[in-house]
Structure 1
Amino acid sequence: MTTGLDFHTPIQLVPGVGAPRAAMFERLGLRKAIDLLFHFPRSYQEVSECKSILELQEGLLATVVGLVVDIDSRFGFDGRSSVGVLLAVEGGGYVRCTWYNQPFRREAYALGQRLLARGVVKSTGVAYQMRHPEITPLDPEEPTPAARPRPIYPLTEGLTQRVLSNAIEAAMPLAANIEEAIPLEVRQNAAALLKTQSDALLPIQDALQQIHMPVDMLQANEARLRFIFQEFFVLQLALAKQRYVYQQQRPAPSIQASALVDARIVKRFPFVLTEDQRKVIEEVKADMKRTVPMNRLLQGDVGTGKTAVAQYAMLSAVANEYQAVLMAPTEILARQHARKLKEQLAGSRVEIALLVHSMPAPDKRELLQRIAIGTVDIVVGTQALLGDQVEFSKLGIVVIDEQHRFGVEQRAALRTSRTAPHYLVMTATPIPRTLALTLFGDLDVSTLKQRPPGQSAVQTYVLEPKTIDRWWNFVRQQVQAGRQAYVVAPRVESDEEKDIRGAIQWWEELNAGPLAGLRVELIHGRLDSEQKQSVLERFNHGSVDVLVASTVIEVGIDVPNASVMTIADADRLGLAQLHQLRGRVGRGKHPGFVGLIPTSNSSGAETPALSTAVDPQEKIQWLEQFAKIQDGFELAEIDLRRRGPGEIIGTKQTGLPEFRIADICKDEAVLVIARNLAGQLIAADPELKATEHSRLLRQVVAKHGKLMPIGDVG
């Protein structure tokens, strides 16, 4: 049946595919015969042994084989229809298979056809019935299938499990020609660490056979484990290899913070450092003292003081006569960083400059010259820092704020000098452990969880239609007491089809309604830089009472007098994003309050509930769970399981790899072991030059050649 097939045989030439179906296979990424072997099942259906009518039990899953002896259609007064197929079960007796509101079923089967039906048995008192059973057509002389797990594959429109399974079966003999890439020693070590029943993870040929044609679920799970480990292991090799190569290529400056320098820097902080901050600062000092470039991710919950750690690192560099860079994802945040640094370092000899795209050309040219000759100590900016014209005299450290908002190539652009700067990247979006290991490989990670003393939890409420008017009265009272408020909408403009109001419409309605008479202004991403900066400065100086905004304020905006926030259509945002927004209030001496308006409530009691595929009550439950949890790391883990990694971090920007079978939410133990074994292998053979590693190297380059820089935070 497989005569003439090789790895590169076009998919349409595989038996059972043909030209008409080729396009459907290609939509699944299956273009060559070899691709079929690595199109893994998403799950398995445990097929029970075929039973006779005497063995059937009410309420239990069962499998029967029989001939179609009758097909009928019925219609109820309520408009519902049903199709019934009566099977004469082999061995005697009858089972009626019934489908509701699926009229196409009548044409799908024929009298005298032999079918395998699998479903939950119901008894009508007169006969047995299966509602919406799974059906597998069988040839008249085809042996009854053995009771073994049946692979369930990802499909596309028009393609059936049977057609896809037959194509994979036709390609299975190719598995014998696939060479093993993972050395036996690695597979043995992995098996020992994973505490499997075998001495080693399955070899590739056996794993392919067992993942597609398992005799039982034990075989299927053994095969899955082999491929889950392989996906993680190859990625971790790429990350570890890239990190090793970078560290060996160029030395970093040794930057030391003496006791005198430490005392001078700490004296500049208008607060006492927390124990967490001191611990992380010691980690950063140890890194910067070495001539190997620091690659450290600093993640912290909202309000834990990451910027203080970054400031310490930058001032350490300046004290050693090196320049420092602080790169922010938005001009708003860059300007805020520059303003705060200048305030805290007022009266010092540290020269701070802001470099952003909106600068007038003459000012930018003059600043670039000063940076190049070294008269600027700390440069704060946005992606303007990545321009070809930006040259540093003596760059010692780069701090990147909200690192996942910069693409891989952007983060690497500053690394063009003969020496490599140290890198400290910060994120206020807590990254779940598995996601950090996947994105950053062997990256050093520091975590801040401790909040400064006196900082109280922000009170969070899920607003119902009957409480919204009271909430707006509360917002007005807060403003009258001297506080300021945010109103956040996920969209800039309304979406009438989805019944969502945008920030512009909220601004108009609040000005004319609940907040009339207050100084209400609007900010969103479509305004130019000068307009946004002007609004933020007025809000920061207290000239604006209420700021209606899109999620442009999510990252880092710091106005200590802001005490209350209203988030419209809150159920349309992830928990991690909601937590970031919540972190914008309660940053000063005044307690913070957040009101969450679900989509169905955002227009008040008279607005009909949004019709979506997700149960509105489930959305409310998510928001109520968020309201109770203040820990950003716990929320990040929940969000990862709920929405997936790409939604949390942004797949396109981070280069988060796609896995065929591995799941970073479910397979953390395998990921950790793969990371450790990859690190050991790269330590022993950094270039993977050994003969036994040649096939591994090919896989690393083929799968992650473009992604390898993601393991290097710069």
Structure 2
Amino acid sequence: MGLTDPASTLPGVGPKRAEALASLDIHTVGDVLFYFPFRYDDLQVKSLDEAADQEKITIKGIVVADPVVSRFGPRKNRLNVRVQVDRAVVMVTFFNQPWLKDKFTQGMEAAIYGKWDAKRHSMTGMKVLATQTEDAPSMAAIYPANKNIRQSTLAELAKAAFAKEQGHIPDIIPQVIREKLRLHSDEQLIQGMHWPKTPAEAKAARRTAIFREFFLFECQIQSLREDSQLAANGLAIPFDNQQVRGLIKTLPFALTTAQKRVVNEICADMRSPKHMNRLLQGDVGSGKTIVAAIALYAAVTARFQAALMVPTEVLAEQHFAKLTKLFADFPVKLALLTGTTKGKQRKATLEGLASGDIDIVIGTHALIQKAVDYANLGLAIIDEQHRFGVKQRQILQDKGLKPDLLAMTATPIPRTLAITTYGEMDVSTIDELPAGRQPITTTWVRHNQMREALQRMQQELNAHHQIFAITPLIAESEKIDLQNAEQLYADMQKVFGKAAKVALLHGQMKADEKDAIMRAFSDGEIDLLVSTTVVEVGVDVPNATVMLIMDADRFGLAQLHQLRGRVGRGKSAAYCILVADPKNDMGVERMQTMVTTTDGFKLAEKDLELRGSGDIFGDKQSGLPEFRVADPVADFATLSAAQQVAASLFKTDPSLSAPEFAPLRAYLARQQQLVGTLD
């Protein structure tokens, strides 16, 4: 038997149990062995005088009477055992475990773990740790379980798997690295994590487990980089530098130093025969779109097609309108392709892409549908990339001759998360805002100060400006007493309805309804848009000057900053009003941080510090890998070390051809990350 054999080869694992294990992402014998406990119960024997009421403790004593099983309801029973501990007799009760009766006989010594009831001087037994024929462990492993499978089953399977594989477990981390960093072998690691004899032993094993998890992840990242940077997998785009300079000269503003730097980084990648896989990150309003436009045009000057994929139809239309204006005096043919592109227009666009007649196409996920073929796609740009999955990005890349890929995001990413989320990509950062960008005045008011907020909103409506009003919920919730979109819409209509056009937008609407409302707001037909966070990306309204965010303490700082960035895009002063009654000091600190900080990168770091990684992108959008033992934030020093070690290893031996790397090479091949010579 080997670690890659199915878990069903272990004793007691039939189809039903195999399915239960799969629900925990356990499929192989190796998965069983590396499914580690997340904590341990202290099983050291404790004096009754030191035990607190309802504390879980271990007692050790002599059984002074034969155990008794009694029934007290349908399918309910209890086993009572009297145990003398020092000079006191303790009644230990096990519920619904009658089979434990055979473990006890009068006069024997036993160690029992359970919950101590100090008032009754009794214990609710949880497990029998030892009898005269067994040694008592000092620590008990607690596994992440679910309704499909019990703790005890996971513990039993770990023992069975180890008994079969002991002596045959390969070390994936090369010996030279283990010796340098004083890490356990995989066999020592498994023993130390599942069955530690002391807390120190468990801590040492956990140290290795954390590094191992990060190291294997970083090796996968390095293998992706090696693959993408192979000249054979890349595309050289010999753009015309003079023509690109000509486009830049026509811009009505000068590029910032940061914009010039990232344009040079992107253009160098495009000219190189290696495959570009670059992330462009920049704060809201930092000027990513013009950088993308320059890259698109560069591809066209080399007679390649280019595609720009965005998350919403309204944003696609806005980009199309801006680029059409930008390229008005240049020989560039543009097209728009979204889900609503129908009939003759759709047919003509598809034919133009297939024939090469269209140079640049802007669209939504419609760009990656099966019917869409490109004649010579050389560059693919994805805006707000965290809204698209890895598969969608891959499909777009597969549409051409392995086109260069530029992903863009307005969500500043702390270095902690950049290493894990975008480790296989090169990162370009626009870290300054263009001159003339309107500052956004941010204020925080409590619900009882709403009158101040309404006065500001009225002033802006009187000046014929537009307003966003954002709420975190779509409909009423009995559990969370928050202002919701429907109620806020009713309130805003009551206050402003006679003098302003108020509309409601939320995620449960049909796509065409949402697009129609966003389009109307963009065109100035709606004065006040009440919405959930669907407006976080995907709409550019220069005339919008107020962003009102209700129950702002329910949002992450990065998300609040994204929403704030929806205003201040025109020539008028802009305002962000946060309405919140935070319930603790952390909530107050977050609101104060928003008022005093406009730097998105600082806010993202603060969000990470205060709330953790889940709020940087929003639920299940981040693309963050799931680690079973390691924590990218808490264990960042180890993550950095693992990244450096993996990078150094691949720099020395990119194909992992040395014999001592064979287990690591085999592991990566199984992960289907390595290609070509690494298969």
Q: Which residue of 1 aligns with 2:35?
A: 39
**Separation of aligned partners in 1, 2:470 and 2:628:** 38
The answer on 1:285 being equivalent to 2:285 is no
Q: Distance in 2 between matches of 1:107 and 1:628?
A: 64
Which structure 2 residue ranges, 5 or more long, are not aligned? 66-79
Distance change >3 Å, CA 420–CA 453, structure 1 → 2: same
- Are residues 1:50 and 2:45 paired? yes
The reply on whether 1:253 has 2:248 as its aligned counterpart is no
**What is the CA-CA distance between 1:66 and the residue it aligns to?**
4.9
Match of 1:675 among 643, 651, 655: 643
The answer to whether 1:174 aligns with 2:164 is yes
Counting only pairs closer than 5 Å after superposition, residues 290-439 of structure 1 correspond to structure 2 as 290-416=272-398, 419-439=401-421
Whether the aligned pair in 2 keeps the contact of 1:12 and 1:19 (CA below 8 Å) is no
**1:678 to partner: Cα distance:** 3.2
User: Given the superposition, is the C-alpha separation of residues 437 and 546 from structure 1 closer, same or farther in structure 2, using an over 3 Å criterion?
Assistant: same
Q: Provide the residue aligned with 1:155 in structure 2.
A: 145
Q: Corresponding residue for 1:658? A: 626
Q: What amino acid is the match of 1:468?
A: M
What secondary structure sits across from 1:413 in the alignment? helix
Q: Does 1:450 align with 2:432?
A: yes
- Asked if 1:187 is matched to 2:177, the reply is yes
Contact 1:37–1:208 at 8 Å: present in 2 too?
yes
Shift of 1:432: 3.1
Which one-letter code corresponds to 1:152 in the other structure?
I
Aligned with 2:132 (options 126, 141, 150): 141
Q: Say whether the 8 Å CA contact 2:83–2:92 is kept in structure 1.
A: no
1:646 & 1:682 partners in 2: Cα distance? 30
What value does the CA root-mean-square deviation take over the aligned residues? Answer: 4.5
The aligned residue for residue 234 of structure 1 is 216
Letter of the aligned partner of 1:559 in structure 2?
V
Confirm or deny that 1:472 pairs with 2:459. Answer: no
Deviation at 1:145? 3.8
CA distance in 1, matches of 2:326, 2:7: 67
**8 Å Cα contact 1:525/1:552 also seen in 2:** yes
Q: Would you say 1:575 and 2:519 are equivalent positions?
A: no
Separation in structure 2 between the aligned mates of residue 665 and residue 446 of structure 1, nearest angstrom: 22
C-alpha distance 650-561 of structure 1, shift in aligned 2 (>3 A): closer
Shift of 1:623: 4.5
- Of the candidates 593, 601, 604, which is equivalent to residue 636 of structure 1? 604
Q: CA distance change for structure 1 residues 377 and 172 in 2, over 3 Å: closer, same or farther?
A: closer
Q: Residue type matched to 2:389 in 1?
A: G
SS of structure 1 residue aligned to 2:468: strand
Amino acid at match of 1:141: Q
Q: Does 1:13 align with 2:8?
A: no
Partner of residue 266, structure 1: 248
Letter in 2 for 1:422: D
Cα distance change of structure 1 residues 637 and 92 upon mapping to structure 2, 3 Å threshold: farther
- 1:562 equivalent to 2:544? Answer yes
User: CA–CA distance in 1 between the matches of 2:212 and 2:221?
Assistant: 14
Relative contact order higher in (CA < 8 Å, ≥ 6 apart): 1
Is the CA contact (8 Å cut-off) linking 1:202 and 1:226 kept in structure 2?
yes
SS in 1 for 2:396: coil
Query: CA–CA distance in 2 between the matches of 1:380 and 1:483?
Result: 29
Aligned partner letter, 1:518:
A
Contact persistence 2:113–2:129 (CA under 8 A): no
Q: Which runs of structure 2 are paired with 1:200-215 in the superposition (5 Å)?
A: 201-215=183-197
Q: Is the 8 A contact 2:267 2:295 kept in 1?
A: yes
* Aligned partner of residue 324 in structure 2, secondary structure: helix
Q: Which amino acid aligns with 1:50?
A: V
Say how many residue pairs are matched.
654
Deviation at 1:363, TM superposition (A): 0.8
Out of 175-184 and 34-43, give the one that drifted further: 175-184
Aligned mates of 2:537, 2:19 — CA distance in 1: 44
Write the distance in 2 (CA, Å) between the matches of 1:95 and 1:585: 70
Could you say if the C-alpha distance between residues 341 and 528 of structure 1 is closer, same or farther in structure 2, counting changes exceeding 3 Å? farther
Judged with a 3 Å threshold, the aligned counterparts in structure 2 of structure 1 residues 331 and 210 are, in CA distance, closer, same or farther, namely: same
Shift in Å at residue 584 of structure 1? 0.5
Distance 1:87 1:585, change over 3 A: farther
Could you say which residue in structure 2 is the equivalent of 1:74?
Answer: none
Shift of 1:558: 1.9
CA contact (8 A) 1:442 1:675 kept: no
1:247 to 1:617, Cα distance in 2 relative to 1, 3 A: closer
Alpha-carbon deviation of 1:426? 0.2
CA-to-aligned-CA distance 1:168-199 (integer Å, 9 cap, x gap): 345432341443142534534xx63xxx4x3x
Which one-letter code corresponds to 2:640 in the other structure?
V
Maintained 8 Å contact 1:12/1:21: no
CA drift of 1:666 comes to 2.3
Instruction: Specify the code of the residue in structure 2 equivalent to 1:351.
Output: K
In structure 2, the residue corresponding to 1:281 is in which secondary structure? Answer: helix
Alpha-carbon distance between aligned partners in 1 of 2:472 and 2:558, rounded to the nearest angstrom: 14
Where 1:589 maps in the other structure, the secondary structure is coil
Structure 1's 133 and 272: CA in aligned 2 closer, same or farther, altered over 3 A?
farther
1:539 Cα offset (Å) = 3.0
Once residues 259 and 338 of structure 2 are traced to their aligned partners in structure 1, the CA distance between those partners, rounded to angstroms, is 29
Distance 2:564 2:674 in 1: 35
1:444 is displaced (CA, Å) by 0.5
Query: Is 1:595 the equivalent of 2:591?
Result: no
Cα distance in 2 for partners of 1:204, 1:577 equals: 41
Name whichever of 488-497 and 344-353 sits farther off: 488-497
Change (3 A) 1:64 1:617: same
- Answer with 452-461 or 587-596: which moved more: 452-461
Deviation, 1:222, is 2.9
Q: Residues of 2 paired with 1:97 and 1:68: CA distance?
A: 10
2 CA distance for matches of 1:9 and 1:556? Answer: 46
1:210–1:223 contact (8 Å) kept in structure 2: yes
Q: Which amino acid in structure 1 is aligned with residue 285 of structure 2? A: G
Q: Aligned partners of 1:469, 1:114: CA distance in 2, in Å?
A: 70
Alpha carbons 2:110, 2:132 under 8 Å: kept: no
**What is the aligned-residue identity percentage?**
35
Distance in 2 between residues matched to 1:509 and 1:632, nearest whole Å: 32
C-alpha deviation, 1:520, in angstroms = 1.5
Per-residue CA deviations over 1:464-494 (Å, capped at 9, x if unaligned) read 2311233223211221133211012344444
One-letter identity of the residue aligned with 1:372: A
Measure how far apart 1:287 and its partner are. Answer: 1.5
Contact 1:324 / 1:398 at 8 angstroms: preserved in 2?
Answer: yes
Q: In 2, distance between residues paired with 1:476 and 1:129?
A: 69
Separation in 1 of the partners of 2:169 and 2:99?
A: 43
CA distance 1:96–1:540, change in 2 (3 Å): same
Shift of 1:629: 4.0
SS in 2 for 1:270: coil
Residues 491 and 321 from structure 1, CA distance in 2 versus in 1: closer, same or farther, beyond 3 angstroms? same
Residue 364 (structure 1) shift: 1.5
Whether the 8 Å CA contact 1:472–1:514 is kept in 2: the answer is no
Say whether the 8 Å CA contact 1:462–1:596 is kept in structure 2.
yes
Deviation per CA, 1:70-90: give whole Å up to 9, x if none: 9xxxxxxxxxxxxxx999874
